[in-house]
Amino acid sequence: MLTPRFDAAGLVTAVVTDEASGTLLMVAHMNAEALDLTIRTGIAHYWSRSRSVLWKKGETSGALQTVREMRVDCDQDAVWIKVAVAKPEDTCHTHRPTCFYRSVELGQGGGALRQD
């Protein structure tokens, strides 16, 4: 039975990957309403911490995320959502296919960002 463990702010972490390629697309947060809407509609909904609003991913950009599979971790405080994106080139608000488009240089003198 699904019994999510929301944090003190009422959120669970959502890790979102492309269902076909497995590419990490984004990490977001869901409150109870976002999680419920996602489960009921099959379209990903999130809670925007910066704007304090419920957000249907892709509603304005057209990059809707259709949920193909949802998994919950052992503590039920994080979900992994595998999605199909309507406009994969626009997954990120920066108009990129993933929010993880920068890499961090590791090792001596590391910490520099490189844009892939």
pLDDT for 84-101, tens place per residue? 999 878 788 888 888 888
Q: Which of 88, 67, 77 is nearest to 3 (CA)?
A: 77
Q: Is the pLDDT of residue 109 over 80?
A: no
In a domain, 62, yes or no: yes
pLDDT of residue 42: 98
In a domain, 84, yes or no: yes
For 60, the domain range is 12-115
In a domain, 7, yes or no: no
Confidence of residue 105 (pLDDT cuts 50, 70, 90): confident
Domain at 60, CATH number: 3.10.20.810
pTM (2 d.p.)? 0.87
In a domain, 111, yes or no: yes
Average pLDDT across the chain, whole number: 93
pLDDT of residue 88: 79
In a domain, 5, yes or no: no
In a domain, 6, yes or no: no
What does the DSSP assignment read for 59-110? TTTS--EEEEEEEE-TTSSEEEEEEEESSGGGSSTTSSS-S--EEE--STT-
In a domain, 2, yes or no: no
Q: Which of 42, 25, 31 is nearest to 7 (CA)?
A: 31
In a domain, 4, yes or no: no
Q: Can you say how many angstroms the Cα of residue 15 is from the centroid of all Cα atoms in its chain? A: 5
Q: How many CB atoms lie within 10 A of CB 116?
A: 8
Per the structure, the count of domains in the chain is 1
pLDDT for 18-69, tens place per residue? 999 999 999 999 999 999 999 999 999 999 999 999 999 989 888 899 999 9
pLDDT of residue 34: 98
